[in-house]
Amino acid sequence: MATRIIVVDDDPLVGELSSSLLRDAGYEVELINDSFKALDIIKTQPPAVAILDILMPGLDGLTLCHRIKSDPATKNVQVAMVSGKAFHADRKRALDYGAALFIEKPYNVDTFAKQVGELIAGQAPPPPALTAEARLGPQPQGTADAKLHMTIWGCRSLSPFKGGEPSRYGRQTACVSLETASDILIFDAGSGIVPLGREIIKNGRFRNLWLFLTHFDQDHIEGLANFAPAYATGYKLNISGANDPDQALQDRIQRIFEAAPPELGALQTELQLFEMREETYEVLPGVQVSPFFANHPGTTLGFIIEHGGRRFVYCPDSEIYGEQGTAMQDYDERLGRLVQDADVLIHDGRYLDSDYQTRKNNGHSSWANALHLAARSGVKHLILFHHDDAYPDAVLDRIAADAQEIVAQKGYKLKVSMAREALKIGI
Ligand SMILES: [Zn+2]
């Protein structure tokens, strides 16, 4: 039986073109020009794929995509968005909402059916929002007596779709979760927090959520307005961060939620804000959080978490000077003391050495500088984080291999890993 595809487009010309290309490729195609009607049909008889135009009267394509992917009855329908309105924001939202493919109009008639075919065959490179196969809960990879369970939901710099190409390391921006036996701590709200939000709702284990923001650069907050638990009832969201001298934490957070897509509805969560300084806070029983200022433009924090005798440090945006630091620049020494003996250190390792030479004083480190500092400080496991969006997988693979070589050459005792979406570690 031919695979069934539904094309939803209010423009008869484009709709007919899409349909005939797919029919020629052997699919059973239904063209629908009304998005409300399409939703009914998709619900009663889910197709393999729904191809949606973004700009449609009534229910627009993004909202339709959101409805399809958030309804358990239809969430397995693969959604491809087709649009001439290819702003990054739309593309990002489409993928955040669960679309598996985004095709710009005018599309290439030679490859259109092939792209859809790959999607059906599961060969299409999974888009960023779907690469994170992360799940909450204890993981088999962890040590048996782990007290903390870490999951990476995003580890890239800048907007996740700027580079375009799918990546095994993922394209989502900064977000890491850390679970104790009873609670969840979330670090940063880059686009990776969007799939995490969906997982929190699905999983249902956590109601009292703690979010720690290092700073307010886009790649650390761009997912917050789309964090699903904020719009669901029964959740408490505690957001901690630093007060910037020229902007209060409260104003920042308020602005983020004011800019949220209206279709998400009103905020439902009980929201509580905590301004943090360089002190130690017991945020939950037995969970100590010690923020510290990191070397990055603006007010930027790193976080040390201590729980059950384990020490975890999250410091995604931080420039280590390395051997070229001057006597006046004592940040490396200070950071070395802060991360001393950490079980896991997630640290900025954004640049290749060669690129770092031309990007000094931007607030990011070369991976090699991060590795040397971690090794000197007795860190047990370093996770290189904040991969440059311009680096393809081949470059990141090479960094991983070179890092292992340095560890072997120098006789370092630490383990070093590259951050990637869905990476889970028991600590
Ligand atoms: Zn950043």
Residue-wise pLDDT for 262-278, tens only, equals: 888 888 988 999 999 89
Ligand 1 centroid–CA 346 distance in Å is 13
Q: What structural domains does the chain harbor?
A: 4-124 (3.40.50.2300), 138-426 (3.60.15.10)
Q: How many CB atoms lie within 10 A of CB 72?
A: 7
Q: What is the pTM of this model?
A: 0.69
pLDDT of the residue at 327: 67
For tokens 């957001």, the residue is: 239
Ligand 1 centroid–CA 174 distance in Å is 7
Ligand 1 centroid–CA 51 distance in Å is 34
Asked if 365 contacts 347 with a C-beta cutoff of 8 angstroms, the reply is: yes
CA–CA separation, 190 vs 153, rounded Å? 9
Residues of the chain with pLDDT under 70: 1, 84-90, 123-134, 137-144, 159-164, 327
Ligand 1 centroid–CA 321 distance in Å is 17
CA–CA separation, 179 vs 185, rounded Å? 6
CA–CA separation, 55 vs 59, rounded Å? 9
Ligand 1 centroid–CA 83 distance in Å is 30
Q: Which ranges of 190-270 does DSSP label H, i.e. alpha helix?
A: 193-203, 218-221, 249-258
CA–CA separation, 311 vs 359, rounded Å? 31
Ligand 1 centroid–CA 362 distance in Å is 10
pLDDT of the residue at 419: 97
Q: Around ion ligand 1, which residues have CB less than 5 A away?
A: 217, 219, 317
Query: What is the CB-side half-sphere exposure of residue 57 using CA atoms within 13 A?
Result: 4
For the segment 338-397, what is each residue's pLDDT rounded down to a tens digit?
Answer: 999 999 999 999 999 999 999 998 999 999 999 999 999 999 999 999 999 999 999 999
Ligand 1 centroid–CA 317 distance in Å is 5
DSSP state of 362: S
Geometric angle at alpha carbon 162, from 161 and 167, rounded to 5°: 55
